[in-house]
């Protein structure tokens, strides 16, 4: 019995089709996604952008910024401003620093000054309430205990402020041009350090002169944050100068440094 012959052209066609499917099947197998356990398939956490991390502490409406101003602020944080400035730098300060015209810079400065003015008033009002509450609860306790201080030589001068010092700054509220200079010098030299600054007015009366003390704080541009944290305090003298200097007549301005229990006059 003779075997049927195979058409050579048909055989070639069939072989080509078979080869095609083999190749196609191989291609599908290579490109098909591989199954990965869930434990290893979690996406890698992306590093948050500057906009996400630096601006989340601020609110556009709270700072009364328009949408274009907010967009410009977030864009500026992507550049050098976001790299060299502290995170606490407000949006108004950022926009003012990068103002494109003198008029624009002035407008941002006015808006910032207005907010700072309002914040100083709030801070001083809270400080007055705090002092009144402390007086009701604990009586009229002094800010420092003179009995614990070494008073043998209070004029033993110290040349510089050190971490942990407490500065007792005695000034007058009125008619004292040098008081302004001394206060500004103290605040500048103590900024950024762990230093307590207690400012005493030797010519004020409790309650009667407190509005003038508030005005004085605004005039001297005291930092609201340092006031709120009691790093800087405003006080009526009420005998504090005599306890420190043993002098009845106040010779101000003068600054004493309380370092531990040792009292020194600051050679500023």
Q: What does the alpha-carbon distance between residue 154 and residue 193 come to, in Å, rounded to a whole number?
A: 23
pTM over 0.75? The answer is no
Q: Return the pLDDT at 36.
A: 33
The closest of 245, 255, 244 to 179, measured between CA atoms, is: 255
Query: What is the per-residue pLDDT for 100?
Result: 94
The rounded average pLDDT for each run of 10 residues, N- to C-terminus, in the chain (268 residues) is: 47 43 37 34 40 60 90 92 85 94 95 87 80 73 55 55 90 89 90 90 86 85 84 89 80 88 78
The H-assigned helical ranges of the chain are 8-31, 50-54, 67-76, 80-84, 91-97, 102-138, 177-190, 210-219, 224-228, 240-245
Ordered domains of the chain (ranges, CATH): 58-98 (no CATH), 146-265 (3.40.30)
- 263 burial class (0-12, 13-18, 19+ CB within 10 angstroms)? buried
């Amino acid at each position: 019995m003779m075997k049927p012959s195979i058409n050579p052209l048909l055989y070639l066609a069939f072989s080509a089709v078979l080869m095609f499917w083999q190749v196609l099947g191989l291609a599908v197998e290579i490109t098909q996604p591989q199954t990965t356990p869930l434990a290893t398939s979690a996406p890698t956490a992306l590093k948050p952008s500057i906009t996400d991390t630096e601006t989340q502490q601020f609110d556009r409406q709270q700072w009364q910024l328009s949408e274009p101003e907010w967009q410009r602020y977030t864009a500026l944080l992507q550049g050098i401003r976001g790299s060299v400035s502290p995170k606490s730098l407000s949006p108004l300060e950022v926009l003012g620093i990068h103002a494109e015209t003198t008029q624009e810079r002035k407008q941002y400065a006015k808006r910032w000054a207005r907010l700072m003015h309002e914040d100083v008033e709030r801070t001083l009002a809270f400080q007055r309430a705090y002092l009144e509450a402390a007086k009701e609860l604990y009586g009229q306790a002094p800010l420092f205990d003179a009995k614990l201080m070494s008073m043998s030589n209070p004029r033993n001068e110290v040349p510089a402020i050190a971490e942990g010092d407490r500065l007792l700054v005695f000034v007058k509220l009125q008619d004292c041009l040098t008081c302004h200079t001394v206060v500004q010098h103290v605040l500048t030299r103590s900024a950024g350090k762990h230093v307590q600054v207690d400012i005493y007015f030797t010519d004020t009366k409790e309650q009667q002169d407190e509005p003038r003390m508030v005005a004085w704080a605004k005039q001297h541009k005291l930092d609201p944050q340092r006031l709120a944290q009691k790093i800087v305090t405003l006080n009526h003298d009420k005998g504090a100068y005599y306890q420190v200097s043993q002098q009845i007549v106040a010779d101000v301005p003068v600054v004493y440094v309380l370092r531990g229990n040792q009292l020194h006059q600051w050679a500023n």
